[in-house]
Structure 1
Amino acid sequence: MRSRRELLQAGAALGLLPSATRAATAPTAERVLRYAFRVAETGMDPVRVNDIYSRTLTAHLFEGLYAYDHLARPAKFRPLTAAAMPEVADDFRRWTVRLRPGILFADDPAFGGRPRELVAEDYVYSIKRYADPQLKSPNWGYVDSYQLLGLAALRQRAQGGQAFDYDTPIEGLRALDRYTLQFRLAEPRPRFIEFLAVSDLMGALAREVVERYGERLPEHPVGTGPFVLQQWRRASRVVLVRNPQYRERVYDAEPAPDDAEGQALLARFKGRRLPMIDRVEVSIVEESQPRWLAFLNGQHNFIEQVPADFVEQALPGGRLAPYLAQQGVKAWRNLRADMSMVFFNLEDPVVGGYTPERVALRRAIGLGLDVGREIRVVHRGQARVAHAPIAPHTGAFDPALSTEMGQYDPARARALLDLYGWTDRNGDGWRERPDGSPLTLVWSIEDNQRARQLSELWLRDLKSLGLRVEFKIGKWPELLKAARAGSFQMWHVGSMSAAPDSQGALQRYDGSQVGGQNMARFKRPEFDAIYQRLSALPDGPERDALFREAVRLTVAWMPYKVRWHSYITDLAHAPVHGYRRPLFWQEWWHMVDVDPTPAGT
């Protein structure tokens, strides 16, 4: 482990330290949050993104109808652009929402110099965009799973290259008047409010903005959110600034009575106008060391998820290091509502399919990956082994569950491969396919230090099983695009829950979401039937039993090897106040304060 002096010297060599020639003062003091994403954004059109980094940006630019209470634990919903909680009827099939009048979009030339009010029709239009085949939304399966009456049929009529008809009214999505929105669903959806509260995906866009900019829309993400885009250098830097058109909205929340931290935050900030800061500067820094250095030297005043390589330096023995504490640095450590997984292309001729020998290969690979060692060596203990594709903090998560998903058993893995014909026939030390042809696994991997560390461990694990593997290196956006198109054999990805209901994690297994959330391209009718039933049932014992059966099927077929759930440690310098890590939602920048500094410093 390098000393802090060595790290700072390295930072100077990398050009990360502030320039000595920078002006000491600037005319205007600003409250600026500065930090880094470790993976580049892919865009800022909510319909076309589903990675966590892009969705963090869109969550602050656009607004859904509802939002999560920032301090409530467990999670609680609050009206955002809606005037009140929804009116629900017809056994959770009809949901009526009334908007708050007077909410304005950020100014844009598309509005001809006039203020543009948010109206119900904007949500109708924005949600219809997910159904437009030409947009190829990776989130269409998620939207379609709620079965808004007439939406899938409208999409079907536009298949084959025809223009999507945005003007045709449908029963499931209607503006009853200027401020009243009604949703009609084919099946009961008791938790439909979770759909309405995903601001990063379900935020409203104005039709005239979309039509003005076309394919350039990601460069003009005009919403009603607390921030607007000021600067965007793709995969390098994003700057958001306070939306001057943002309505009068103040800090308020309902933390639990016994939540001392939440109560203290409420007492400090209640009644403050939002957003409390003027500007957010996000850099894209993929490598761990420069990201850590940028925080150490004050170039960034916040670091999300301290890189595993530096956790021991930041929190030796689990306590904040004295040199950081003396600077006023604050630390937060939480078990995240996430999971990291390896997944297989179920349409691939080698690892895909549902025949016994293909299932045996996937399960053997899963049993042969030493996840405990990965957590110790690469993640420095900042994770716990996962036993099911259910995120912590969601309703069906069972911390005591133990399944094959979380087991490391290379002897059993080798036995499975032998039993189903994946044997070394020519004596060269590598297994062949059951038909005797050569076997080489192709694993897609990012071009960064952390991925290289992981590849070394995975190479050793698979070599010990007699499995030859090659790594296909690429940038994250390229690999994501290939995965959505099914042009891969194996990859690994992280997933974070967007709602307190555990069903969200099972989207990755839903056959209707292939090409979107279901990147493994897994299709089993028995699982799809369970998924549909989970959507319609209210919470209770019957639904709990279905979750258990769904987990059993995910372990048996192994389209995904879920590896771990992460512990995440965030740090902030003294000028940052009010931070609390959200459980499921992405929007929080407007809920923190930063001591003012001269602009440009």
Structure 2
Amino acid sequence: MRSTLIRAATYLIGLLGLTSLPLLAQETNSTSETKVLPKVLRYAFRASETGFDPAQISDSYSKAVAAGIFDAPLEFEYHRRPAKLRPNTLVAMPEVSADFKTLTFELKPGIFFGDDPAFGGKKRELVAADYIYSIKRHYDPQWKSPNLYLLENVKILGASELRRELMAAKKPFDYDRPLEGLQVLSRYKFQLKLGVGDPRFINQFADAGFLGAVAREVVEMYGDKIMEHPVGTNAWRLGEWRRSSQIVLEKNPNFREVRYAESPPADNPALAAQVAMLQGRRLPMVDRVVIAIIEEPQPRWLSFLNGEKDVIEEVPADFATIAMPNNKLAPNLAKRGIQMTRYPRADVAFTYFNMEDPVVGGYTPEKIALRRAISLGSDIDKQIRLARRGQAVPSNGPIAPGTFGFDANFKSEMGEYNLAKAKSLLDLYGYVDQDGDGWRDQPDGSALKLEYATQPDSTNRQLNEQWQQTMNGLKIRIKFKTAKWPENLKSANAGKLQMWGVSWVATAPDGDTFLALGDGGAKGKANKARFDLPAFNALYNKQKALPDGPEREAVMAEAQKLLVAYMPYKMEVHRVFTDMAQPWVMGYNRNVFVRDFWKYIDVDRDTLDRLSKN
């Protein structure tokens, strides 16, 4: 057996061009007995996490980890296109009233939290009160929930009123106060009553990084340290965390029996064959997930190329022409058995202007003119060609492809590049050189100086070069303020950044999440620009209450036009991403609405034996 493994490992190492094959072989001890190593799935984030408490996080990296630990009531099917909801911890899909104002959920019995000292050595079952408590936490000012606006949009009866009452009285949040809109009906059944019927609000209950169930005992035990102590009912538990360096998830021994039962994709025969092989397997299929934080594109790509990572999400644009010339898998990688998944991301990358900033903010004509001129002076095609290596398409508005409300025929000034028009607009509104130093000044004669927040990685450095060239062309001074991702996010939420380039990713296949970028009620949350225009807010709220159809699409289009006119955001691109997986990875696909994909993946050690027989 040992010689067979050695021959197989040697064969695979030579085939893949690797110097080693970590975590795939079996370990042999001095008595020639084999010890099976844990199956480990290894990959990397390209930015640091902030923590793992659903009431406090909004970045996609932290939410991905939280989604593996906590359970939302619903989930999206992994391979289904278009996206389709299904019950997760529920016995069936929720009962929703005809006016979408009453939602009733019934849990499956026998679901247990991971073991934790907070439970006093006893098994702790998931019950309806846990979901009610978890929702209430977003209203507790202590946690400063960045996702509260999603709940306040539908006006859960009594919840916002309780929050305002206790804040005014400077009292702690009262979790035991009965609320009409949040009711425990029985041990396993709970109900929400809303003031605003939203046909798509149900989608939020598939986001475990937002509405995953948290146990009250755990929160009360760890208090302000709860970001470091996630305890949930999903497939994983936090085994190790070295902040901004490495996250290790271990299989949760209390995870309920769930069997793989995914529908095979019709457009990918190779993946469909893998899906067929995995049917009936108990989830999760690997024992550990090890996530490294590798911010620079080159070492992240090389770690995958050298077999140190099993999956690479979002192949860095720097290597797109090498890894996938003409968007096809490179022959040398195909020969190695590398698997490629290419997909348009339901997201938008943008630069926001802080509307409360004295230089770039404001709603007066000259302030609007400044932002529109900066937008017109930005050569997005050049950005896509150089910094993004062709892995994006220009954006004419916030709503992304693959979500309801996106119109491929919608064209606007947001997608226009016209340097002469930009300069004329600045001249017209008094942004001219008044002191003869060659740089434009503000209409009042003070210096016009911009500050752009950024991160210390090569991709952002290339994007910064594009911004520097844009500003040089407009004769506007700009400087770049560099900080780590979590630091910039914290500053952005507090309204302390003047400009920042970031992206926004959909958690459900609907354009509402992109229009929320301009919602006045979401300032400091989704709305990093802190834009607050009554006309836009009215349109945003109107479309939320409408069913999908032409009327809603028309309202969403009008809302987009206001964002173009006032330009609180320079919407730049919708990105196209490519993921790759090693040949021993089975079942990997990309569904941007399924964050905790790890439980659907297997690392196939038998590849060694199969290759040895070829």
What TM-score, normalized to structure 2? 0.92
Contact 1:242 1:275 in 2 (8 A): yes
Rounded Cα–Cα distance in structure 2 between residues aligned with 1:436 and 1:397: 42
Residue of structure 2 equivalent to 1:589 = 598
Residue of structure 1 equivalent to 2:547 = 538
2:221 matches 1:212: yes
One-letter amino acid matched to 1:580:
N
For residues 45-124 of structure 1, what are the structure 2 equivalents within 5 Å? Answer: 45-89=53-97, 91-124=99-132
Residue of structure 1 equivalent to 2:278 = 269
Contact 2:26 2:37 in 1 (8 A): no
Pick from 15, 23, 27 the counterpart of residue 25 of structure 1.
27
What secondary structure, in the 3-state scheme, does the structure 2 residue paired with 1:470 have?
A: strand
Deviation of 1:90 after TM superposition, in Å, equals 5.0
Residue of structure 1 equivalent to 2:436 = 427
Q: 1:475 to 1:110 in 2, by over 3 A?
A: same
Residue of structure 1 equivalent to 2:445 = 436
One-letter amino acid matched to 1:375:
I
User: Structure 1 regions of 5+ residues with no counterpart?
Assistant: 1-15
Residue of structure 2 equivalent to 1:339 = 348
Residue of structure 1 equivalent to 2:143 = 135
Deviation of 1:146 after TM superposition, in Å, equals 2.0
One-letter amino acid matched to 1:154:
L
Pick from 119, 134, 145 the counterpart of residue 126 of structure 1.
134
Q: 1:18 to 1:262 in 2, by over 3 A?
A: closer
Residue of structure 1 equivalent to 2:586 = 577
2:571 matches 1:566: no
Rounded Cα–Cα distance in structure 1 between residues aligned with 2:126 and 2:256: 12
For residues 187-202 of structure 1, what are the structure 2 equivalents within 5 Å? Answer: 187-202=196-211
Rounded Cα–Cα distance in structure 2 between residues aligned with 1:318 and 1:355: 45
Percent identity of paired positions between Structure 1 and Structure 2: 49
What secondary structure, in the 3-state scheme, does the structure 2 residue paired with 1:454 have?
A: helix
Rounded Cα–Cα distance in structure 2 between residues aligned with 1:492 and 1:274: 38
Rounded Cα–Cα distance in structure 1 between residues aligned with 2:429 and 2:363: 13
Deviation of 1:195 after TM superposition, in Å, equals 1.6
Residue of structure 2 equivalent to 1:232 = 241
Contact 1:104 1:115 in 2 (8 A): yes
2:173 matches 1:171: no
Contact 1:250 1:272 in 2 (8 A): yes
Contact 2:352 2:570 in 1 (8 A): yes
2:415 matches 1:406: yes
Rounded Cα–Cα distance in structure 2 between residues aligned with 1:573 and 1:496: 26
Deviation of 1:261 after TM superposition, in Å, equals 6.5
For residues 301-450 of structure 1, what are the structure 2 equivalents within 5 Å? Answer: 301-450=310-459
Rounded Cα–Cα distance in structure 1 between residues aligned with 2:411 and 2:19: 47
Contact 2:271 2:587 in 1 (8 A): no
Rounded Cα–Cα distance in structure 2 between residues aligned with 1:257 and 1:50: 33
Contact 1:142 1:517 in 2 (8 A): no
Higher deviation after alignment, 475-484 or 245-254: 245-254
1:269-305 deviation digits (Å, cap 9, x = unpaired): 2221111111100000000111111111111111111
Deviation of 1:318 after TM superposition, in Å, equals 2.4
Q: 1:257 to 1:479 in 2, by over 3 A?
A: closer
For residues 484-503 of structure 1, what are the structure 2 equivalents within 5 Å? Answer: 484-503=493-512
What secondary structure, in the 3-state scheme, does the structure 2 residue paired with 1:428 have?
A: coil
Rounded Cα–Cα distance in structure 1 between residues aligned with 2:274 and 2:201: 30
2:473 matches 1:464: yes
1:332-373 deviation digits (Å, cap 9, x = unpaired): 111111110000000000100000000010011111111111
Rounded Cα–Cα distance in structure 2 between residues aligned with 1:561 and 1:74: 29
What secondary structure, in the 3-state scheme, does the structure 2 residue paired with 1:569 have?
A: strand
Higher deviation after alignment, 268-277 or 59-68: 268-277
One-letter amino acid matched to 1:25:
E
What secondary structure, in the 3-state scheme, does the structure 1 residue paired with 2:167 have?
A: coil
Deviation of 1:447 after TM superposition, in Å, equals 1.6
2:479 matches 1:474: no
Rounded Cα–Cα distance in structure 2 between residues aligned with 1:374 and 1:395: 27
Residue of structure 2 equivalent to 1:182 = 191
Contact 1:39 1:476 in 2 (8 A): yes
Deviation of 1:260 after TM superposition, in Å, equals 5.1
Q: 1:163 to 1:112 in 2, by over 3 A?
A: same
One-letter amino acid matched to 2:96:
V
Contact 1:496 1:584 in 2 (8 A): no
How many residue pairs align between the two structures? 582
Rounded Cα–Cα distance in structure 1 between residues aligned with 2:491 and 2:228: 23
1:195-252 deviation digits (Å, cap 9, x = unpaired): 2111121100000011011111122100011111100000000000111111011112
What secondary structure, in the 3-state scheme, does the structure 2 residue paired with 1:195 have?
A: helix
Deviation of 1:476 after TM superposition, in Å, equals 1.0
Higher deviation after alignment, 117-126 or 156-165: 156-165
Deviation of 1:488 after TM superposition, in Å, equals 1.3
Residue of structure 2 equivalent to 1:3 = none
Residue of structure 1 equivalent to 2:517 = 508
Residue of structure 2 equivalent to 1:5 = none
1:74-112 deviation digits (Å, cap 9, x = unpaired): 111100001101111251111111111111111111111
Rounded Cα–Cα distance in structure 2 between residues aligned with 1:321 and 1:34: 23
Deviation of 1:500 after TM superposition, in Å, equals 1.1
Contact 2:275 2:587 in 1 (8 A): no
Q: 1:255 to 1:299 in 2, by over 3 A?
A: closer
Rounded Cα–Cα distance in structure 1 between residues aligned with 2:196 and 2:271: 37
Pick from 231, 252, 266 the counterpart of residue 222 of structure 1.
231
What TM-score, normalized to structure 1? 0.94
Contact 2:585 2:603 in 1 (8 A): yes
